[in-house]
Amino acid sequence: MKNAVKWMFVLSTALVIGCTDENNEGVDNTPPEQETPVTPPEDTPEPEVPEKEFYLGTLFGYSGDLRKGERTYENDKSTTYNRHLFSDIKMMEKEWWDNMAEEIAYSGIDYVGMDLRGWQPNPEKYIDHGDPHQIKGLLDAMKRRGVDNQFKLSVIDDCPASWDAARNHDLGRGYADWQGGTEADLKSGRKFYPLMNIDVWNDEKQFQDSIYKYIWDRDLRIAFQTIPKDKWIKYKGRPIVFFWGCGFVKRGQKEEDWRPGLKGKLCYILQRIHEDCQKEFGMNPYCIVDQDWPKCDIDIESSPYVDAIHDWFNIYTTPPYKLNLNQSRNGAKVGTGMAGFSVNEKTDSPMFCDPRAGGLLIETLSYFREQKADIVFLEGFTDESENTSYWRSKDTGTNVAGANTFQSYKYPNQRLNILRRYGNNPYPKKQKLEAEGCDYCYDSSTAGDTGTAPSKGLMTRCDDTNYGGGWQVEKLGAGSNANSLKWKEIPLRKGNSTFSIRYKANKKAEVIFKIDGVNTSKEINVATSWTTAEIMTLPQTENGLHDLIFTVSSGNIDINYMEIEAE
Q: What is the mean pLDDT of residues 347-375?
A: 94
556 pLDDT more than 70: yes
* Cβ(325)–Cβ(333) below 8 Å: yes
Higher pLDDT, 187 or 508: 508
Q: How far apart are CA 455 and CA 87, in angstroms?
A: 11
368 — pLDDT class (breaks 50, 70, 90): very high
Whether the pLDDT of residue 3 is over 80: the answer is no
In this prediction, residues 299-327 reach a mean pLDDT of 88
Helix (H) or strand (E) holding 461: strand 459-461
pLDDT of residue 48: 54
Measured in residues, the chain has a length of 567
Band of the pLDDT at 337, cuts 50, 70, 90?
A: very high
pLDDT in tens, 456-510: 999 999 999 888 889 999 999 988 899 999 999 999 999 999 999 999 999 999 9
Q: What is the DSSP secondary-structure string of 401-413?
A: ETTEEEES-SSTT
Closest C-alpha to 320, from 338, 294, 293, 306: 338
* pLDDT > 90: percent of the chain: 74
**Contact indicator for 469, 445 with CB cutoff of 8 Å:** no
Higher pLDDT: 272 or 325? It is 272
Residue 558 has pLDDT above 80, yes or no: yes
Q: Which residue has the higher pLDDT, 436 or 191?
A: 436
Which of 333, 157, 132 has the alpha carbon at shortest distance from 244?
A: 157
Q: Residue 2: pLDDT band by 50, 70, 90 thresholds? A: very low
Mean pLDDT of the chain: 88
Q: Read out DSSP for 515-533?
A: ETTEEEEEEE--EEEEEEE
Each residue's pLDDT tens digit, 139-173 = 999 999 999 999 999 999 999 999 999 999 999 98
Alpha-carbon distance values, 324 to 147, 399, 477 (Å): 32, 33, 52
Between 326 and 246, the higher pLDDT residue: 246
Cβ atoms 503, 527 nearer than 8 A: yes
pLDDT digits (tens, 9 = 90+) for 57-74: 999 999 999 999 888 888
CA–CA dist 562, 513 (Å, integer):
11
pLDDT band at 184; cut points 50, 70, 90: confident
Question: What would the DSSP string read from start to end of 489-557?
Answer: EEEE-SEEEEEEEEEEESS-EEEEEEETTEEEEEEE--EEEEEEEEEEEEEESS-EEEEEEEEEEESEE
What would the pLDDT profile of 425-458 be if each residue is shown by its tens digit?
999 999 999 999 999 999 998 887 889 999 999 9
Asked whether residue 101 carries a pLDDT value surpassing 60, the answer given is yes
**Over 90: is that where the pLDDT of 377 sits?**
yes
Give the C-alpha separation, 175 to 169, whole Å: 5
Long-range (24+ apart) CB contacts under 8 A made by 304-309 are 305/267, 305/270, 305/271, 305/273, 305/274, 306/267, 306/270, 306/331, 307/235, 307/238, 307/331, 307/332, 308/332, 308/333, 308/334, 308/375, 309/334
Q: Which pLDDT band, with edges at 50, 70 and 90, does 293 fall under?
A: very high
Q: What is the pLDDT of residue 10?
A: 36
Task: Tell me which amino acid residue 380 is.
Answer: G
Domains of the chain, each with CATH number or no CATH: 55-176+185-395+405-422 (3.20.20), 430-566 (2.60.120.260)
pLDDT at 5: 33
Per-residue model confidence as pLDDT tens digits over 254-267: 777 788 889 999 99
Task: Quote the pLDDT of residue 9.
Answer: 35
HSE value, Cβ hemisphere, 13 Å, CA-based, for 423: 26
At 15-26, the pLDDT tens digits run 333 344 443 333
Local confidence band at 356 (pLDDT 50, 70, 90 cut-offs): very high
Within 8 A by CB and 6+ apart from 181, the residues are none
pLDDT digits (tens, 9 = 90+) for 39-60: 444 454 555 554 447 899 999 9
The identity of residue 68, as a single letter, is: K
- Give yes or no for residue 210 having a pLDDT over 70: yes
Three-class DSSP labels, 351-380: EEECCHHHHHHHHHHHHHHHCCCCEEEECC
Which amino acid makes up residue 357? A
Distance CA 402, CA 417 (A): 29
Task: Read off the pLDDT of residues 530-549 as tens digits, 9 standing for 90 and up.
Answer: 999 999 999 999 999 999 99
Let me know if 434 is exposed, middle or buried by CB neighbors in 10 A (0-12, 13-18, 19+): buried
User: Average pLDDT in the 279-283 region?
Assistant: 97
Instruction: Give the CA distances from residue 178 to residues 161, 173, 174, 232, 323, in Å, rounded to whole numbers and listed in that order.
Output: 11, 10, 10, 33, 30
Do 151 and 164 meet the contact criterion of CB atoms below 8 Å apart?
no
Q: What is the mean pLDDT of residues 351-370?
A: 95
pTM greater than the 0.75 cutoff: yes
Instruction: Enumerate the β-bridge partners of residue 240.
Output: 286
Given a contact cutoff of 8 angstroms between Cβ atoms, the answer to whether 98 and 391 are in contact is no
Question: Which residue in 454, 498, 503 sits closest to 477, CA to CA?
Answer: 503
Is the CB of residue 200 less than 8 Å from the CB of residue 267?
no
